[in-house]
């Protein structure tokens, strides 16, 4: 495949751009992006299709064209006739949420992307990881379910077949939720290339062809996401370690996988590979899920160890080497060998290549863009959302931020409230949290009152023969108002929104205790835990109200 950049003449509207794109894509194997605004077409074509054939197709549709590398033309943005023009750097969840809302407000949008459309979540994050986790869970349950009389058997995993299915679903959703939106929304123009600031008003975009286009939009939104960070361990950078992307898109099930990291990405993938058949060792620099309530990490560690995962906390390799076949990790008191090494120790914002200093955009010590509650940066008319900022690295936070940023960039006034942000770790049992822990409450000068109920007091968990985990509620002591919840349970992510809504609506634990919850649901555990603030639930009947 070869990428061609053409300067188009004769287009009079966005409809011309759509017509030209359709015509070009009638040629076998051709994929085209046409911009009326820039009078440009970016065409990916098989090598068998000549440049002359592409020109003939453009002219057959009633336009004229010249290849950019055959001209001295410097691209100039069309006059917008007073219409607001927003440039968005990135194409992930936050970028698309902003683009869609800005288009709804009658704004022209140029979306700039240097890689695959759709960002992290659909391509290499949320979607492929959850497919892998669900497949691993089903395989594990076949051999390890708790029910007598039901055969326990599980054959070997065909990782190649699973990977093919995963790739297919990723491509389907990328097309329907991202590429399809671009194709159907004429107000959003797509520009392939690497964007950088030349000053606070000007973006230079380096196209794959080498051509440089310059934009001076009315507003700029940075939504460039983040990438896996690599810790400074001696020798690590010179080894063929995996990031989460390689771990999710391999057809290999290694005999022994070592995982560096104790956060959600590390633990989700560690458990998935254990359930797919690998021996797994987790090395956590601190404890598991160290930013959460200590009871959460301890409960999850117990569950992982019970499945055969070796967990070493407060452990980090002093040196990593690779001998062309195996990894050798030097610890303080032993040397570990492994077939594969996954590095999942956090993510760093993708901001270094943006030349933010030229625009005067402020970042923190880690390179994350500093924004206020309206998603404004330190520079007027430049906004930022998603993982390139210091906000929680959650796609639904990025999307909510993108919508609000678009409102603000088009003259509105919308604030992103992050006081109630539920989060889920998709291990089994899952970990779901929202609001404050006891220690966080104390740090804010709030006197907490907390209660915990183990799942052997929750009827649905007993019926499932799976009582791993607990539910913990944190209340403000003098009012009884719910301010936090931590849940470790199968499908905890389906439970936590109950607590989130209760916190948002300033409900007390007494309010929750008096609510009607469906019997034999795990969510009923929220009610039972709320009742423990005033009762001994061990002395209640199954569905006592």
The answer on pLDDT for 13 being more than 80 is no
Among 36, 63, 178, 273, the one annotated catalytic: 63
pLDDT score of 267 more than 50: yes
Q: Which residue, 503, 100, 433, is CA-closest to 264? A: 433
Q: Per CATH, the architecture of 236-345 is what?
A: 3-Layer(bba) Sandwich (3.50)
Boundaries of CATH 3.30.390.30 in the chain?
423-539
- pLDDT of res. 14: 65
- Look at the domain 423-539 and name its fold: Enolase-like; domain 1 (3.30.390)
What's the whole-number mean pLDDT along residues 252-275?
A: 98
Q: What is the mean pLDDT of residues 140-162?
A: 94
pLDDT at 415 over 80: yes
Per the annotation, the verdict on 13 as an active-site residue is yes
What six digits make up the tokens of 309? Answer: 């995962």
> In the chain, where does the domain assigned CATH 3.30.70.100 lie?
2-70
pLDDT at 77: 44
Tell which residue, 286, 46, 253, 256, has the closest CA to residue 136. 253
11 labelled catalytic: yes
Work out the pLDDT band at 543, boundaries 50, 70, 90: low
Residues of the chain with CATH 3.50.50.60: 85-120+166-227+349-409, 236-345
Q: What is the DSSP letter of 386?
A: G
Quick one: pLDDT at residue 31? 85
| pLDDT, mean of residues 507-518 | 97
Average of per-residue pLDDT across 522-530: 96
Q: Residue 543 catalytic?
A: yes
6 pLDDT tier (thresholds 50, 70, 90) = confident
Of 36, 391, 396, 543, which is the active-site residue?
543
Mean pLDDT of the chain: 93
- Quick one: which H or E segment has residue 86? strand 85-89
pLDDT-derived band of residue 15, with 50, 70 and 90 as boundaries? Answer: low
| pLDDT value for 417 | 96
Task: Please count the CA atoms within 13 angstroms of the CA of 9 that sit on its side-chain side.
Answer: 6
Q: What is the mean pLDDT of residues 282-295?
A: 97
For the segment 408-414, the average pLDDT, to the nearest whole number, is 96
Would you state the pLDDT for residue 115?
93
126 is catalytic: yes
pLDDT of residue 374: 98
Over residues 290-302, mean pLDDT: 97
List, in order, residues 6 or more apart from 433 with CB less than 8 Å away: 292, 293, 296, 422, 423, 484, 485, 486, 487, 496
Q: What are the φ and ψ backbone dihedral angles of 432, each rounded to 5 degrees?
A: -130, 135
Give the pLDDT band (50/70/90) at residue 467: very high
Measured CA to CA, the distance from residue 372 to residue 453 in angstroms comes to 38
Can you tell me the mean pLDDT for 344-371?
A: 97
- State mean pLDDT over 452-474: 97
Q: What is the pLDDT of residues 45-61, one digit of tens each?
A: 898 888 888 888 988 88
**Which one of the listed residues 121, 388, 409, 529 is annotated catalytic?**
121
Instruction: Give residue 76's pLDDT.
Output: 38
User: What pLDDT was estimated at residue 78?
Assistant: 43
When pLDDT is averaged across residues 67-95 and rounded to a whole number, the result is: 71
Give 154 or 73, the one with higher predicted confidence. Answer: 154
* Mean pLDDT calculated for residue range 281-298: 98
Q: Indicate the pLDDT class of residue 72, thresholds 50, 70 and 90.
A: very low
Beta strands (DSSP E) in 240-278 are: 256-260
Q: What is the pLDDT of residue 59?
A: 87
pLDDT of 541 higher than 80: no
Whether 284 has a pLDDT exceeding 60, the answer reads yes
Give me the pLDDT at residue 79, please: 37
Using the predicted structure, report yes or no on whether residue 489 has a pLDDT greater than 90: yes
Arithmetic mean of pLDDT, 461-472: 97
As a whole number of angstroms, the distance between CA 238 and CA 320 comes to 9
State the pLDDT at residue 69. Answer: 67
Q: Mind listing the pLDDT tens digit for each residue in 197-214?
A: 999 999 999 999 999 999
Asked if CATH classification 3.30.70.100 holds for the domain at 2-70, the reply, yes or no, is yes
When pLDDT is averaged across residues 386-414 and rounded to a whole number, the result is 97
Residue from 36, 391, 507, 542 carrying the catalytic annotation: 542
User: Could you confirm whether 542 is annotated as catalytic?
Assistant: yes
pLDDT of residue 137 exceeding 80, the answer is: yes
pLDDT at position 152: 94
Phi/psi at 416 (5° precision): -95, 115
Q: Does the structure show a pLDDT above 60 at 272?
A: yes
522 confidence band (pLDDT: 50, 70, 90):
very high
Residues 126-143 have a mean pLDDT of 97
When pLDDT is averaged across residues 169-176 and rounded to a whole number, the result is 96
168 as an active site residue: the answer is: no
Which of 1, 13, 168, 519 is flagged as catalytic?
13
529 carries an active-site annotation? no
The structure tokens listed for 224 are 């460039």
Alpha-carbon distances of 216 from 97, 244, 382, 436, rounded to whole Å:
22, 37, 12, 43
For 85-120+166-227+349-409, the fitting CATH number among 3.10.20.30, 3.30.70.360, 1.20.59.10, 3.50.50.60 is: 3.50.50.60
């Amino acid at each position: 495949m070869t990428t061609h950049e053409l300067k188009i003449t004769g287009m009079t509207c966005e409809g011309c751009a759509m017509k030209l794109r359709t015509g070009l894509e009638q040629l076998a194997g051709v994929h085209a992006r046409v911009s009326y605004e820039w009078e440009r077409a970016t065409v990916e074509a098989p090598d068998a299709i000549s440049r002359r054939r592409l020109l003939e197709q453009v002219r057959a549709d009633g336009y004229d064209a010249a290849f950019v590398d055959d001209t001295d033309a410097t691209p100039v943005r069309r006059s917008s006739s007073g219409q607001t023009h927003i440039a968005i750097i990135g194409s992930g969840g936050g970028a698309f949420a902003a683009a869609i809302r800005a288009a709804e407000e009658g704004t022209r949008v140029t979306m700039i992307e240097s890689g695959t459309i759709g960002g992290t979540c659909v391509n290499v994050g949320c979607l492929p990881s959850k497919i892998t986790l669900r497949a691993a869970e089903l395989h594990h349950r076949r051999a390890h379910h708790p029910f007598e009389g039901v055969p326990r058997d599980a054959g070997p995993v065909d990782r190649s077949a699973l990977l093919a299915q995963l790739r297919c679903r990723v491509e389907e959703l990328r097309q329907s939720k991202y590429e399809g939106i671009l194709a159907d929304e004429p107000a959003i123009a797509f520009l392939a290339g690497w964007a950088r600031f030349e000053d606070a008003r000007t973006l230079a975009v380096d196209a794959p062809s080498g051509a440089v286009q310059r934009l001076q939009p009315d507003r700029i939104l940075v939504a460039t996401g983040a990438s896996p960070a690599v810790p400074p361990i001696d020798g690590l950078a010179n080894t063929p370690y995996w990031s989460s992307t390689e771990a999710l898109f391999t057809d290999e099930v290694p005999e022994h996988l070592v995982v560096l990291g104790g956060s959600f990405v590390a633990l989700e993938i560690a458990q998935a590979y254990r359930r797919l058949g690998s021996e797994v060792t987790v090395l956590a620099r601190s404890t598991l899920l160290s930013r959460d309530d200590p009871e959460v990490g301890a409960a999850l560690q117990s569950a992982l160890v019970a499945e055969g995962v070796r967990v070493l906390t407060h452990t980090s390799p002093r040196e990593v080497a690779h001998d062309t076949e195996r990894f050798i990790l030097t610890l303080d008191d032993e040397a570990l060998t492994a077939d594969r090494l996954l590095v999942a120790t956090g993510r760093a914002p993708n901001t270094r290549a943006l030349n933010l200093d030229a625009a005067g955009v402020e970042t923190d010590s880690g390179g994350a863009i500093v924004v206020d509650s309206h998603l404004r940066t330190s520079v007027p008319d430049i906004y930022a959302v998603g993982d390139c900022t210091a906000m929680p690295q959650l796609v639904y936070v990025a999307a909510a931020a993108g919508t609000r940023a678009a409102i603000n960039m088009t003259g509105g006034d919308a604030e992103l409230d992050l006081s109630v942000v539920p989060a889920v770790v998709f291990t089994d049992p899952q970990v779901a949290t929202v609001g404050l822990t006891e220690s966080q409450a104390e740090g804010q000068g709030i006197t907490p009152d907390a209660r915990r109920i183990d799942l052997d007091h929750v009827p649905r968990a007993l019926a499932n023969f799976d009582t791993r985990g607990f539910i913990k509620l944190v209340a403000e002591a003098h009012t009884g108002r719910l301010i936090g919840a931590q849940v470790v349970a199968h499908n905890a992510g389906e439970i936590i929104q109950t607590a989130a809504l209760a916190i948002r609506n300033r409900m007390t634990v007494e309010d929750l205790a008096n609510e009607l919850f469906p019997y034999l649901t795990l969510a009923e555990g929220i009610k039972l835990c709320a009742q423990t603030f005033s009762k001994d639930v061990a002395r209640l009947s199954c569905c006592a109200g």
